[in-house]
Amino acid sequence: MRKPVVGVIGNSHLVEDRFEVQIVSEQNLRAVAEVAGALPLMFAGCPEVTEIGALLDAVDGVVLAGARANVHPSRFRVEPDPRHEPYDVNRDDLALSLAQACVARRVPIFGICRGLQEINVAFGGSLHPEIRELPGRLNHRMPRLENGEIHPDLNVVFGERHDVRLVQGGVFARLLGCETIRVNSLHGQGILEPGERIIVEGVAEDGTIEAIRIADAPAFALGVQWHAEYDPQRNPVNRALFEAFGEALQLRRRAA
């Protein structure tokens, strides 16, 4: 039996201020290949290029990976602010519809960072444009040096920074075999109001929603706010999530 195929969404990017490209972090591709046991296939986060029905005919699962760009606030009825740019409206157009289609067609879907936010918005939820501006919240952005530059050491950037409390008896707690985990943190936006069918399964120590599932989804349909793709080869929490995703892919392939 051939390996399952996983579509990993691309992000709009401009090279040398003129060449439009689609990019995907290699960490996402390696996590799918090395831990989920599937063949990663990047697809364009652009509705003019990627037709959802054809995509879901070709893949056994979808990863909505993280990205630098934020979900455009108009998607959850908020006025945009230049402080919260950049945006990737093409990806918004595709990802929000794709999240709904995956659930409807029983295609496993795993949302990571922006992907969690997209799943929430797709089902009617809202986001806060900058979690750290809320009273009592941690700064969930990646670590920076005193001069404002991103820390040069990736082990620091993706280092574990806060705890997440999991719902007792929930899907995440069962998968991970515990009720408290420690995760990295690299995001500005975060869930404000959960959407319809969005079940909160994990919350950071400051109240930020970190893990969700879609109620009554017929296949794997989970989202995490942290970057689980960074180190699932070594990190037992992230490994368990990608392995569970891989098992769901195998079930999908056998049922096809």
Count, in order, helices (H) and strands (E) of the chain. Answer: 7, 13
Beta bridge partners of 21: 13
Domain extents for the chain?
5-255
149 part of the active site: no
Q: What integer pLDDT is reported at residue 1 of this predicted model?
A: 62
- The reply to whether the predicted model has a pTM over 0.85 is yes
Nearest by Cα to 110 from 253, 232, 213, 181: 213
Interval 218-241 mean pLDDT: 96
Element (H, E) at 251: helix 236-255
Q: What CATH superfamily is the domain 5-255?
A: Class I glutamine amidotransferase (GATase) domain (3.40.50.880)
pLDDT digits (tens, 9 = 90+) for 210-222: 999 999 999 999 9
Termini Cα distance of the chain: 12
Q: Which two tokens stand for residue 76?
A: 């959850």
pLDDT digits (tens, 9 = 90+) for 16-59: 888 999 999 999 999 999 999 999 999 999 999 999 999 999 99
Strand 61-64 and strand 5-9: the pairing is: parallel
Q: Which two tokens stand for residue 53?
A: 């029905």
Q: Which of 113, 128, 130, 187 is catalytic?
A: 113
Residue 188 or residue 233, greater confidence: 233
DSSP 60: S
227 part of the active site: yes
Interval 188-206 mean pLDDT: 93
Mean of all residue pLDDT scores within the chain: 91
Measure Cα distances from 20 to 54, 132, 227 in Å.
Answer: 23, 32, 25
- Give 114's contacts (C-beta < 8 A, 6+ positions apart): 64, 65, 66, 67, 69, 70, 71, 187, 189
Beta bridge partners of 223: 111, 212
Q: What integer pLDDT is reported at residue 26 of this predicted model?
A: 95
Q: Which of 72, 140, 187, 227 is catalytic?
A: 227
Is the confidence at residue 190, as pLDDT, over 80?
yes
Interval 5-11 mean pLDDT: 96
Q: What integer pLDDT is reported at residue 237 of this predicted model?
A: 96
